[in-house]
């Protein structure tokens, strides 16, 4: 049965998660394998597939997200903010899955000055990306898949289209054991989603903006 379950888990599911606050979501897959698109290496890292499972532990909806690589050629403040955003979100997700765990890519640096300097070089950025992924993986690896504790996950649409992405916020997930959600979807996020989907087919994205609660944080969403 275990092998059969693995085979079934590899089926392509074309139903994405919903806009808004998704409930009973698990981190179903995680990897950092280099990928290509149209022959070009994608400048992305930390590929996370979040899924909703049915009572048989089968995937009924899923979406994959990842982060843009840190780019040493960008403005220093921008690179720093991208690093801080990714570390914050990965810590948030890790703590939903493994409470008390910490994602920390800074272990090889003695001072903030050393870290800032590393962000000005490709070698330094690549080193931090690798350390960030490895730290996150070590926090959650034993609970990725059907045994992952269920969580709530907030998803929004980007400014350039209807595709789902993680919001540009530090807190994007919370455990389902938290009885009253603190995740919210803003009126602006709903307005942007409606504007993005008004030119698409009705089946492209279904709205499910729960709660009463921006935008591209270097996270892309794709179906597996």
Could you tell me which residues are beta bridge partners of residue 19?
Answer: 207
Q: What backbone torsions phi and psi does residue 85 show, to the nearest 5 degrees?
A: -65, -45
The domain total for the chain is: 1
- Is residue 27 within 8 Å of 97, Cβ to Cβ? yes
Q: Which domain holds residue 140?
A: 2-222
What is the arithmetic mean of pLDDT over 154-163?
A: 88
Burial 178-205 (b: 16+ CB within 10 A, else e): eeeeebebeeebbebbeebbeeeeeeeb
| Tokens, residue 195 | 């504007």
Is 202 a residue whose pLDDT tops 80?
no
Rounded (10°) angle between helices 76-97 and 122-140: 10
The helix/strand/coil state of 53 is strand
Quick one: tokens of 92? 């948030």
For the stretch 16-69, pLDDT in tens is: 999 999 999 999 999 999 999 999 999 999 999 999 999 999 999 999 999 999
pLDDT above 90 covers a percentage of the chain that reads 76
| Cβ-Cβ contacts under 8 Å for 1 (sequence gap 6 or more) | none
Q: Which residue has the tokens 């289209």?
A: 161
In three-state secondary structure terms, 63 is strand
- C-beta atoms surrounding 165 within 10 Å: 22
What percent of the chain shows pLDDT beyond 70?
A: 83
pLDDT tens-digit series, residues 180-195: 999 999 999 999 999 8
CA-based radius of gyration for the chain? 18
Question: Residues 159-179: pLDDT tens digits?
Answer: 777 899 999 999 999 999 999
DSSP assignment letter at 143? G
């Amino acid at each position: 049965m275990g092998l059969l379950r693995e085979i079934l888990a590899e089926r392509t599911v074309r139903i994405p998660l919903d806009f808004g606050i998704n409930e009973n979501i698990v981190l179903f897959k995680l990897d950092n394998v280099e990928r290509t698109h149209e022959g070009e290496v994608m400048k992305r890292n930390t590929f996370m597939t979040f899924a909703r499972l049915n009572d048989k532990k089968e995937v009924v909806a899923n979406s994959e997200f990842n982060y843009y690589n840190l780019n040493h050629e960008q403005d220093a403040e921008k690179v720093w903010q991208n690093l801080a955003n990714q570390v914050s979100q990965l810590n948030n997700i890790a703590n939903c899955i493994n409470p008390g765990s910490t994602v920390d890519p800074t272990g090889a640096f003695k001072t903030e000055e050393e870290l800032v300097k590393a962000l000005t070089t490709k070698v330094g950025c690549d080193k931090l990306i690798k350390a960030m992924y490895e730290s996150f993986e070590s926090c959650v690896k034993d609970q990725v898949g059907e045994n992952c504790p269920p969580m709530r996950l907030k998803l929004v649409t980007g400014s350039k289209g209807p595709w789902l992405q993680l919001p540009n916020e530090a807190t994007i997930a919370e455990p389902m054991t938290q009885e009253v959600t603190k995740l919210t979807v803003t009126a602006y996020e709903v307005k942007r989603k409606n504007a993005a989907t008004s030119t698409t087919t009705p089946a492209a994205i279904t709205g499910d903006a729960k709660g009463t609660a921006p935008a591209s944080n270097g996270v892309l969403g794709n179906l597996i």
